[in-house]
Structure 1
């Protein structure tokens, strides 16, 4: 099986469907929409990557939102449930980091939730370290924030 990554528009139908799945799953997991801060949109997303399989079926996605001159935030990182456990999350993460490097970033940040241990494992395996909550997540007790510098070694899978 081969996974293909493409930078697609924010409103790409398959990407929009994956984002709806991600939102539905998150709401079910937390019992409501607890996302702090502005939701990503076509106006503030710099890159939106869509992962598809050999047959063109969408299997995952993730996007970049610029925080400052040196930093991008990863948003809407998602792998469809039936595709989990195949390291697609790590593949998406490395591709997002490479895209951020191309755009001049030297640091990545992200926020995930306390009820998402599988996501935290992906980030930690890739070399992200926990940091204090930042920006809109400061007051959100469910938020767990991570950061990784982009200088030096590429992320681990």
Structure 2
């Protein structure tokens, strides 16, 4: 385009930027032993081992009371996960929240947490609890911004100085 005086307008002087399609993001409920979920949990444990000098205090095998295992896939690639564990008496526990480092900062953890809360509500649970570590400020920020408040550490974390426990009424 040119202006009436024949001088190219600013709009025509700038090259067109090609549109990049947004990645396809899906949240799926999967079996605990799903290959993508397993790979994400293994990656989480490796990261925790580097951060804390040890893996998680809770075994990687699925407790019988896991009620949901979610995987977020970005363009088909397992990129984030989270699970729900039934603690009884209307209380659920958020477990195995993890986002691959290259996918962080895109809202995937909030997507997982929101879906876990929705499922917990559908199950009739009134409260969710969770544990994270003091060396995970992004996780602490996510939970606080989502309405979780600090609570005393619960078993098996009650004697762990670097554990931070939170709860949210649903």
Given the two structures, how large is their TM-score scaled by the length of structure 2? 0.83
> Which residue in 2 is equivalent to 1:31?
53
Matched, 1:93 2:93: no
Matches within 5 A, 1:37-76: 37=58, 39=60, 41=62, 43-53=64-74, 55-76=75-96
**Other structure's SS at 2:79 match:** strand
C-alpha displacement of 1:45 = 1.1
Matched, 1:11 2:33: yes
Structure 1, gaps ≥5 residues long: 151-157
Distance 1:43 1:69, change over 3 A: same
Q: Aligned-residue CA RMSD in angstroms? A: 1.3
- Preserved CA contact (<8 Å) 1:64 1:96: yes
Structure 2, gaps ≥5 residues long: 1-22
CA distance in 2, matches of 1:116, 1:81: 13
- Preserved CA contact (<8 Å) 2:24 2:76: no
CA distance in 2, matches of 1:128, 1:142: 18
- Preserved CA contact (<8 Å) 2:148 2:166: yes
Matched, 1:22 2:50: no
> Which residue in 1 is equivalent to 2:102?
82
C-alpha displacement of 1:106 = 0.9
Larger Rg: 2
Matched, 1:123 2:147: no
Given the two structures, how large is their TM-score scaled by the length of structure 1? 0.89
Q: Which fold has the larger relative contact order, with Cα–Cα distance below 8 Å and residues 6 or more apart in sequence?
A: 1
- Preserved CA contact (<8 Å) 1:112 1:119: yes
Q: CA-to-partner distance for each residue in 1:117-141, whole Å, 9 max, x for gaps?
A: 1110111111111111112111111
- Preserved CA contact (<8 Å) 1:133 1:145: yes
C-alpha displacement of 1:84 = 0.3
- Preserved CA contact (<8 Å) 1:49 1:92: yes
**Other structure's SS at 1:136 match:** coil
